[in-house]
Amino acid sequence: MEPAFGEVNQLGGVFVNGRPLPNAIRLRIVELAQLGIRPCDISRQLRVSHGCVSKILARYNETGSILPGAIGGSKPRVTTPTVVKHIRTYKQRDPGIFAWEIRDRLLADGVCDKYNVPSVSSISRILRNKIGNLAQQSHYDSYKQHQPAPQPALPYNHIYSYPSPITAAAAKVPTPPGVPAIPGSVAMPRTWPSSHSVTDILGIRSITDQAPNGLPAVSSFVSASSMAPYPAPAQVSPYMTYSAAPSGYVAGHGWQHTGGTPLSPHNCDIPASLAFKGMQAAREGSHSVTASAL
DNA sequence: CCCGTAACGGTTGAT
DNA sequence: TCATCAACCGTTACG
């Protein structure tokens, strides 16, 4: 369930334990960093732990995406019962068959595609552990046959509404084993660790859906867009503080198609820049940089 | 002081 | 329907 209010960290920021920060804040972190603001200052301004700022920035640098990784779920198994069944069949038909031959056959027969075909070593293990002493667990297989050759299409459904196309394009999967990351290609088939399906990325769904009538109030908008994880009660969202800012731009997808860098500086002039309550930071008078940046 | 990262307690979601 | 489990989360604290 989701806590309407999160906990408060040492910096006075609100967070929900176990859940990702709202996209609006993640975005803000990246933007500020691109403006040249130091991570420690970003941390203080947004009241997000420096560890988190560091992590988000590192991820952004590496993948080009500000989105959190896919949470939950199980890694899709390549050795599905169906696959095992086929392997057993091959083995029974040709006891001398090599694992790599089985692998080729799985591909040739369309049982698997190049993204989910088991490795030769996995096949060997299957032969050893499951087929070797196969008594008859066939019924086990039969249940769940419907598993269509697992399409890596959308394993996850994060509803992160992150409208920005760039993210989509730029988002490379962390280390998709075997998936050639085609930068810029929307079609990138995702495999496990990745996280966002194209639709999710592009999917503005949650935004549009939730704002049927046009211009949503800022607050609702933000909560909708920043989202899912924080179905924040509309107005009391712990993150309200930041609401003004990003909303417009997140929604406006204004950022990025500039083609060049994903986050062009101009974005920063985001209105409001608002409301950063944090602004008081300025009062500390310490660094004007930060203040000015806002 | 800054920053990377491990430990920690937590949530999520496919199986 | 419920439990399990492995993935991720952000904060904290340490180096």
Residue range A215-227, pLDDT digits in tens: 333 333 333 333 3
- Domains of chain A listed by start with CATH number: 7-63 (1.10.10.10), 77-121 (1.10.10.10)
pTM here is 0.54
Distance A49 CA to C13 C1' (A): 12
Query: How do residues A225-248 score in pLDDT, each as one tens digit?
Result: 333 344 434 344 444 444 434 433
Average pLDDT along chain A: 60
Distance A197 CA to B1 C1' (A): 41
- In this model, does residue A264 exceed pLDDT 90? no
Q: Which nucleotides of C are covered by protein (CB under 7 A)?
A: 5-13
Q: What is the share, in percent, of chain A residues with pLDDT greater than 90?
A: 21
Query: How do residues A95-132 score in pLDDT, each as one tens digit?
Result: 888 888 888 888 888 777 776 777 777 777 777 766 65
CA distance A101 to A116: 16
Amino acid identity, position A65: S
Distance A9 CA to B8 C1' (A): 15
Instruction: Please provide residue A35's backbone torsions phi and psi, each rounded to the nearest 5 degrees.
Output: -85, 0
Q: Which nucleotides of B are covered by protein (CB under 7 A)?
A: 1-7, 9-15
Distance A5 CA to B8 C1' (A): 21
Residue A152: per-residue pLDDT: 35
- Closest residue (CA) to C1' of nucleotide C6 is A74
Strand partners, A14: A8
CA distance A205 to A211: 10
